[in-house]
Chains A and B, each alone.
Chain A
Amino acid sequence: MNFFEIFNFEPDFNLDVNSLSARYKDLQRAFHPDQYASANESQKLLALQKATEINDAYATLKSTVSRAEYLLKLVGLDISHETTTVKDPSFLMQQMEYREKLEDISALSDPYDAIIEFEQELEQEQAELEATIGRELKSAHYEQAANAVRKLKFIKKLQVELERLEDEVSDI
């Protein structure tokens, strides 16, 4: 059973996350090891394996990056551990600009507004890439989809760094 089949979904990038979460909870209601606390050892082990698989499937499908990577893997394109990077020069140029921007923000005395503005910019970028991934996957342009996923990973990384920056400058 692949991860989509576990939740009785068609393999599709555009997935209703709320419905995923509801189905996930129903499955855990049936398979969580707590339901087998007084069962025998082999049933316990089986429940543990099932619950683990369900958790893995849920975590994979919940995030757009891992969901896209998983869909690509289903069609035979495994990019989750690859070392290939993006070669698109304009994208790379933009990444460099983003990096500089991050440094500039960290040097500001009151960086909050700049952080929020940058956050929104990245969010928009993320939404556009996700739309591209959905489109390319639908039309079976897997290489193009993989490229968009690689770009999305860049953006996610920046978002993490921006969060870290926000942590550093904020005080309780």
Chain B
Amino acid sequence: MALLQISEPGQSEAPHQRRLAVGIDLGTTNSLVATVRSGEATTLADQQGNTILPSVVRYSAEQVQVGIEALANAEADPENTIISAKRFMGRSVEDVVKTYPELPYQFVGEAKELARIATAAGKKSPVEVSADILAVLKTRAENSLGDEIQGAVITVPAYFDDAQRQCTKDAARLAGLKVLRLLNEPTAAAIAYGLDSKQEGQIAVYDLGGGTFDISILKLEKGVFEVLSTGGDSALGGDDFDQVIVDWIKASGKLPAQLSSRMRRVVKETAKKVKEQLSDASSVDYSIKLDDQSQIQLSLTKAEFESLVEPLVKRTLIACRRALKDAGLKAEDIKDVILVGGSTRVPLVRSRVADYFAKEPLSSIDPDQVVAIGASLQADILVGNKPDSDMVLLDVIPLSLGLETMGGLCEKIIPRNTTIPVAKAQEFTTFKDGQTAMAVHVVQGERELVKDCRSLAKFELHGIPPMAAGAAHIRVSFQVDADGLLSVTAMEKSTGVQSSIQVKPSYGLEENEILQMLQASVANAKDDVKARQLAEQVVEAQRMLESLGNAITQDKHLLSEEEYNSLTGDLAKLAELCQGSDVDAIKQQIELIDNNSQDFAAARMDQSIRKALQGHKVDEI
């Protein structure tokens, strides 16, 4: 039973109820949902008692199956059963086919568009597949908590680029979840660990999941989780360990290079089982039934397996070294190493990590659950259940952001490991007399040449006043928010004409596609859209009444009497509108108050800056 929170007398007129929020680990192989109940973070189980939901969706003409049921059909129906869709997030068809040549899926669409898979239920993008997984977790959480979820923190690999993050956020939107924050997986693990152990100091989080590898170096101090550096590989994980075994099976079993869809799945599943068994056994024997019903017998020893995966483990350690260097630390400066992700169960991974950091890594919290647990702890704070929390997360941008300049070179605008939120501006000028437009290409990555970096977006600036070459000054500003997402604005300096550019990742969904999908899903669920909108606006209005109401009472001195009366009047009108059912009127009134209170909010912020530093004056004199 959730406890009611009662606020300090006089601070808030109405004690508000505890808000329900969840943390979701949307993994390559498995997904989980967790929440904080009675002060304790726990993962939530389905009706059969399973906490882990395999990240597998099967699309048939009649239904959509998610999780264990879908996985059970993977062998019989490989083309329609999407496994590890996370690997395709923000990736083009061309890219996916090149990186994963063994997939049984039919990819459709242009080579340079977001990868989509042809299924019995139509074309499915990885965003939709992820949304179906998220929707199941949302329902699970609402069933076990008995009410609607107000918000979710969804984790992403730290090394995810902008396109992959945007796709994840879109998936949540499609699933009807309000995203409080996208949280980096290693940071989530660090929260779970840090809040649990109350330890301080520098720690490393080594996160080897099904499809991605992350290493993050953090400094924990008095509730501040400061990410010093992060590194990794968004296409390296347990799937690659399986793949080296698949290649080995194909070579030693003399199988053809091109396997049938069924055979691919059989070999892949065998490889996975062999890998898991080799965690304990020193050798594994197994047989595979070929398409012509004949059987082959094979045997793999632990030593052979380890020599096969050694190069992969080494790649992770090279990333560890770079992350340490970026943090300005040495391996011996690290107090604890936390292991996250199912692939850290491979004994070779554990021993190599232990050798590298010269200490036994920790896995006291279940490496499969630690990310979801950490995400739920942050969700609980963000939704406002812990007003006294002094936790702050200072995360970084994992890959440098740059622009294409003459000759296909990449000019770095924001270097990797810069603390977010961050903004940088760059000035451009025209190349020709009378030029009225220019094209800007934003890329992400560390390499010198644009073609070696990932293309994030291309956009054009129009309406530049015709001037002599070099006379126009266009200032383009890049803002990366706390979710690691980029937005761009541009301004022509001589005229002051400002234009904001919607940066759509090169490989993502268009806004209108998302809207169509949302409308379709709402139509299917026969949801009462109007009622829903009204409820949302009323919640929004009440939030405003409460927070601005308190602010006005506390900081009356920052307002003139006239301003005070006008704002109080506006709020009273909003409260009155909430009793009615006019959605648009409520919305307009919220916007009006938002506008009218901007100066007041700015004045309060400036006042807070002084307040935040007050403690120092005393103890530093």
Q: A residues bordering B, Cβ < 8 Å?
A: 1, 6-8, 19, 22-23, 25-35, 37-43, 46-48, 50-52, 55-56, 58-59, 163, 167, 170, 172
A40 and B547 in contact (CB under 8 A), knowing A51-B421, A59-B419?
A: yes
State in angstroms the CA–CA spacing of A1 and B383 once bound together.
Answer: 32
Q: A39-B543, A40-B548 are in contact. List 16 more A-B contacts (CB 8 A).
A: A1-B609, A22-B616, A23-B613, A26-B613, A26-B615, A28-B392, A29-B224, A31-B612, A32-B394, A33-B421, A38-B384, A46-B598, A48-B421, A48-B479, A59-B419, A172-B321
- The answer to whether A34 touches B420 (Cβ under 8 A) is no
**Contact pattern, B 578-621, Cβ under 8 Å of A = 1, otherwise 0:** 00000000000010001101100110011011111101110010
State in angstroms the CA–CA spacing of A82 and B69 once bound together.
Answer: 63
Interfacial chain B residues near A55, Cβ < 8 Å: 418-422
Q: Which residues of B, 371-423, contact A by the 8 Å Cβ criterion?
A: 378, 381-384, 390, 392-394, 418-423
State in angstroms the CA–CA spacing of A22 and B50 once bound together.
Answer: 44
- The answer to whether A7 touches B392 (Cβ under 8 A) is no
State in angstroms the CA–CA spacing of A47 and B613 once bound together.
Answer: 17
- The answer to whether A37 touches B605 (Cβ under 8 A) is no
- The answer to whether B482 touches A34 (Cβ under 8 A) is yes
Interfacial chain A residues near B151, Cβ < 8 Å: 37
Q: How far is the CB of A172 from chain B (nearest CB, A)?
A: 5
- The answer to whether A42 touches B601 (Cβ under 8 A) is yes
User: What would be 24 A-B contacts, judged by CB atoms less than 8 Å apart?
Assistant: A19-B620, A23-B613, A23-B616, A25-B226, A25-B394, A29-B223, A31-B612, A34-B381, A34-B382, A37-B151, A37-B383, A38-B384, A40-B547, A40-B590, A42-B594, A43-B601, A48-B481, A48-B482, A50-B605, A50-B609, A51-B482, A55-B421, A59-B418, A172-B356
Counting chain B CB atoms within 10 Å of each CB, which of A34, A48, A163 scores highest? A34
Interfacial chain A residues near B544, Cβ < 8 Å: 40
Q: How far is the CB of A40 from chain B (nearest CB, A)?
A: 5
- The answer to whether B547 touches A52 (Cβ under 8 A) is no
Interfacial chain A residues near B222, Cβ < 8 Å: 25
State in angstroms the CA–CA spacing of A47 and B606 once bound together.
Answer: 11
Interface size class of B (residues with CB under 8 A): 35 or more
State in angstroms the CA–CA spacing of A56 and B479 once bound together.
Answer: 12
Q: B residues bordering A, Cβ < 8 Å?
A: 151, 180-181, 221-224, 226, 314, 317-318, 321-322, 325, 356, 378, 381-384, 390, 392-394, 418-423, 479, 481-482, 540, 543-544, 547-548, 590, 594-595, 597-598, 601-602, 605-606, 608-613, 615-617, 620
State in angstroms the CA–CA spacing of A44 and B580 once bound together.
Answer: 27
- The answer to whether B383 touches A38 (Cβ under 8 A) is yes
A25 and B392 in contact (CB under 8 A), knowing A41-B594, A42-B597?
A: yes
Q: How far is the CB of B542 from chain A (nearest CB, A)?
A: 11
State in angstroms the CA–CA spacing of A8 and B221 once bound together.
Answer: 22
Interfacial chain A residues near B418, Cβ < 8 Å: 55, 59
State in angstroms the CA–CA spacing of A47 and B382 once bound together.
Answer: 14
Q: How far is the CB of A35 from chain B (nearest CB, A)?
A: 8
Residue in B325, B382, B602 whose CB lies within 8 Å of A37: B382
State in angstroms the CA–CA spacing of A50 and B181 once bound together.
Answer: 18
State in angstroms the CA–CA spacing of A24 and B151 once bound together.
Answer: 29
Interfacial chain A residues near B613, Cβ < 8 Å: 7-8, 23, 26-27
Name A43's closest neighbour in chain B (CB-CB). B601
Interfacial chain B residues near A6, Cβ < 8 Å: 609
State in angstroms the CA–CA spacing of A172 and B325 once bound together.
Answer: 14
- The answer to whether B616 touches A34 (Cβ under 8 A) is no
- The answer to whether B421 touches A52 (Cβ under 8 A) is yes
Q: How far is the CB of B7 from chain A (nearest CB, A)?
A: 14
